[in-house]
Amino acid sequence: MNRRQLFWLFLSLAGAGLLLAYLAAHTGLDLAGAMRLIVGLDAVSLAEITVLLGFNSYLAGEKWRLLDRLLGPDEQSGMTRTAYFAWTAVGVGLGQLLPAPLSLGLCRSLGSHLHQRGAMRGAGLTVFEQLFDVIAAGLLGLASAAVVVTASGSLGWVLCAVAAAVAGFAVCSATGSIPFAVCGRLRLAAALKLGLGAGERDRSRLLQPAVTRRLLALSLLRFAILVAIAATSAAAVPVEIPVWRLAAALPFAIIGNALAVTPGGLGVNEWAMSSALFAFGTPFATAAQWAIANRILVAVAALAGAGAGLFLMAIWHPRLHARAQPG
C-alpha cells in the first residue's frame, strides 16, 4: 500500500470517527453503557447473527457463481459453491476495514485469479451482482418513502414493498438492461466492461430475464435476512423497535453503504439507519443506540465468517494445487 492509499485510508477512518462522535454527541448516547450492553449479551444471540450473516454471504456467493458459470463453466478451475462462499465471506469480513464494495471485489478478484478465471472477471461480476442489491434496496426504499408520506404504518409498508418487488420482477421480465444503465449512472460502466469483456454474447447472457429475475430474487432474500439480523440484535440489546421499522429503514442503509468511502460504511450506515428510524417514529437516541450495537455485533459476526472462509480455503487450496500437478 503506497502513501497515497494510506492517506485516503486514514482520512476515511477519521471521517467515520467524526460521524460516530457527532452521532453520539447529538443523541447524548452513553457509549460506555452501550459497550456494557454488548459485553453482557448472551452467546446465543451472537451465534444467531453469525449464522444469519453466513447464510447471507452464501447467497451472495450464489449470485457470483450464477454469473461466473454463465460466462463459461470450467470444472477444472476448482470453483465450487464452497469456494464461492469462502471468498465472499472473507470479503465481507475485510469489509469491516475497507469500503464494502471494494473489499468484496478485491477478494473475489484474488479468488478468480487463483482459480485461473481472470482477476478482473471477479471484480466485474461483483459490480454487476451487487447492483441488484442496490436495485432491490431502491425498490423497497420507494415503499419506505411512500409510508413516510402517507403515514400508513406497518401494513402500508408491507403492501408497498410487495408492490415494489412485483414491479421489479416485471421490469426484469421485460428488459434486463437496467443494471447496465445503473452502472452508467454510477460511472461504473468502464469497470464493468473491463471485468466482463466487451463481447455482446457475454452481455446477452447476463441480461437474460431468467437470470435477472433470479438475481433480484436472491437480493430480496438477502434483504430479508438482513432484517432478521437487525431484529435479532434489537431483541438482544434490547431496544423496542418494531421489525417493520427496521425493514423500512434498511434500504437507506444499504444504499448508503454501497456509496460510502468509509471502512464498512462506518458512520454513514449508522446515520442512515438512525435517521430513517426516527422518520418512522423511533426516538433518535434509541435508534442510534441500536445502530451502534448492531454495528459491533455484525462486525464480530463478519470477522467470524471470514475466519470460517479462511479455514475452508486452507483446506481447499491443497486440493486445487494437487489438481494442477500432472498425473
pLDDT in tens, 37-50: 566 667 788 899 99
Of 12, 38, 55, the residue nearest 264 (C-alpha): 12
User: For residue 244, what are the CA distances in angstroms to 35, 85, 159?
Assistant: 26, 29, 12
pTM above 0.85, yes or no: no
CA angle 253-92-224, nearest 5°? 50
Determine the Cα angle at 130 with ends 229 and 98, to 5°. 75
Residue 184 — φ and ψ, nearest 5°?
-65, -40
Answer for the pair 58, 309: CB distance below 8 angstroms, yes or no.
Answer: no
Beta strands (DSSP E) in 186-309 are none
Please identify which residue in the block is written with the cell numbers 459497550.
35
Q: Average the pLDDT over 276-286 and give the result.
A: 87
Classified as helix, coil or strand, 186 is coil
HSE (side-chain half, CA atoms, 13 Å) at 33: 10
The predicted-structure confidence for 67-105, as pLDDT tens digits, reads as follows 888 877 555 555 788 889 999 999 999 888 777 778 888
Band (pLDDT 50/70/90 cuts) for residue 187 is: very low
- Provide the pLDDT for residue 164: 93
3-state DSSP percent of the chain in helix, strand and coil, to 5: 85, 0, 15
Please state, in angstroms and rounded to a whole number, the distance separating the CA atoms of residues 324 and 307: 26
Integer angstrom CA distances of residue 212 from 122, 171, 177, 205, 216:
18, 10, 9, 10, 6
Amino acid at 305: G
* pLDDT at 132 exceeding the cut of 50: yes
pLDDT in tens, 249-275: 999 989 888 776 676 677 777 878 888
pLDDT above 70: residue 193: no
Whole-number pLDDT of residue 264: 67
Question: How high is the pLDDT of residue 150?
Answer: 86
Q: Could you give the count of Cα atoms lying within 13 Å of 9 in the half-sphere of its Cβ?
A: 12
